[in-house]
Amino acid sequence: MSADFMHAFQSEWQKKRRSLASYLVVVGAFFTPAIIIVVRLLHHDALRTLYAADDFWTLLWKNAWESMAIFFLPMAAILATSLMTQLEVRNNAWKQVHTLPLSPMTIFTAKLAVILVMLVQFIVLFNVGIYLSAVIPCLLVSGTPYPHAPLPLRDFLTQDALYFIACLPIIAAQYLLSLQFRNFLVPIGVGFLAWVGALAALSWKFGYVLPYTYSMLNYLKDMPAGRAVVPAFDVGWLAGGYFVLFVVVGYGLWVGRAQKG
Q: Is 98 in the site for another protein (CB under 8 A)?
A: yes
Minimal distance in Å, beta carbon 180 to another protein? 17
Contact segment (CB under 8 A) with another protein among 32-40, 94-102, 135-143, 196-204 equals 94-102
Q: Is 254 in the site for another protein (CB under 8 A)?
A: no
Residue from 115, 112, 99 nearest 19 by CA: 115
89-98 long-range contacts (CB < 8 A, ≥24 apart) are 89/182, 89/184, 90/184, 93/261, 94/260, 94/261, 95/260, 95/261, 96/261, 97/261, 98/260, 98/261
Contact segment (CB under 8 A) with another protein among 15-23, 43-51, 64-72, 245-253 equals 15-23
Give whichever of 83 and 177 is closer to another protein, judged by the CB atom: 83
Q: In whole angstroms, give the CA distance from residue 242 to residue 108.
A: 18
Q: Is 150 in the site for another protein (CB under 8 A)?
A: no
Q: Is 95 in the site for another protein (CB under 8 A)?
A: yes
Write out the binding residues for another protein, residues 43-72 only, by CB under 8 A. Answer: none
Torsion of CA 94, 86, 160, 151, to 10 degrees: 110
Minimal distance in Å, beta carbon 83 to another protein? 11
Contact segment (CB under 8 A) with another protein among 75-83, 88-96, 213-221, 229-237 equals 88-96
Sole binder of another protein in the list 42, 45, 49, 92 (CB under 8 A): 92
Write out the binding residues for another protein, residues 171-200 only, by CB under 8 A. Answer: none
Q: Is 84 in the site for another protein (CB under 8 A)?
A: no
Residue from 102, 240, 218, 125 nearest 172 by CA: 240
Write out the binding residues for another protein, residues 101-130 only, by CB under 8 A. Answer: 101-103
Q: Is 161 in the site for another protein (CB under 8 A)?
A: no
Residue from 69, 61, 117, 7 nearest 220 by CA: 69
Q: Is 18 in the site for another protein (CB under 8 A)?
A: yes
Residue from 116, 130, 144 nearest 51 by CA: 144
Which DSSP string do the residues of 144-177 spell out, in sequence order? PPPP-S---HHHHHHHHHHHHHHHHHHHHHHHHH
Write out the binding residues for another protein, residues 199-228 only, by CB under 8 A. Answer: none
Contact segment (CB under 8 A) with another protein among 35-43, 85-93, 136-144, 165-173 equals 85-93
Q: In whole angstroms, give the CA distance from residue 134 to residue 59.
A: 11
Q: In whole angstroms, give the CA distance from residue 20 to residue 156.
A: 29
Q: Write out the residues near another protein by the rule CB under 8 A.
A: 7-8, 10-11, 14-15, 17-19, 87, 90-96, 98-103, 258-261
